[in-house]
Amino acid sequence: MVNSPTAKTVTVTETVTATATATVEASPREPADEDPAQSPAPAPLPSGEVALSDLTPLGDYPDDEFGLQTVTLGGKSYSNAMVVKYPCQPGTEYSINQRYKKLVLTVGLDDNAVAVSGKLAVIGDGKTRKNIMLEVNRPQTVTVDITGVVKLGIEADISDDSSCNDDGVVVALGKAVLMS
């Protein structure tokens, strides 16, 4: 340091600029208006011509009482026919939400099952829309007006209550098509 009467004190100013970089991982966030406990909305019902077998029935049905299989109706084979062994269970229901105007179906008793007469009812919102008589070797193709129906039901009434066994009565919808 210098001791002089003319010496001046010098102050040095230094500017430092710092840059910080941070990595942040965001977790997915649910929209604020969505309740995480709710399940996603069901897929919309298809339009046009739709096989009834493409829709999921309401409720739970064991495979040995309701399902798709190959059947013979009046000597004609139908693959992927909707079959129900009756009277082992109540009818089957579908939620169709007024989407369709008519149901066209070929129905009968499987030629290779127990031959017991009865009837099949097509029900729309709790009201019978059509009764179809069931006889072995006599399938029928019918058209049913289902305009405005929210819940479509298919129920069979078999005259012989003792037929509920492993080789039971098999009511088959060889072909069932909904039309918009």
Tens digit of each residue's pLDDT (9 = 90 or more) over 70-118: 999 999 999 889 887 655 566 789 999 999 999 999 999 888 887 777 8
Q: How far apart are CA 77 and CA 57, in angstroms?
A: 24
* pLDDT more than 70, % of the chain: 62
Burial of 12 (0-12, 13-18, 19+ CB in 10 A): exposed
pLDDT at res. 151: 96
Q: How far apart are CA 7 and CA 3, in angstroms?
A: 7
Q: How far apart are CA 20 and CA 13, in angstroms?
A: 23
pLDDT at res. 19: 47
120 close to 139: Cβ distance less than 8 angstroms: no
CA angle, 119 then 120 then 121, to 5°: 120
Tens digits of residue pLDDT in 16-47: 454 444 444 444 444 444 444 554 555 566 66
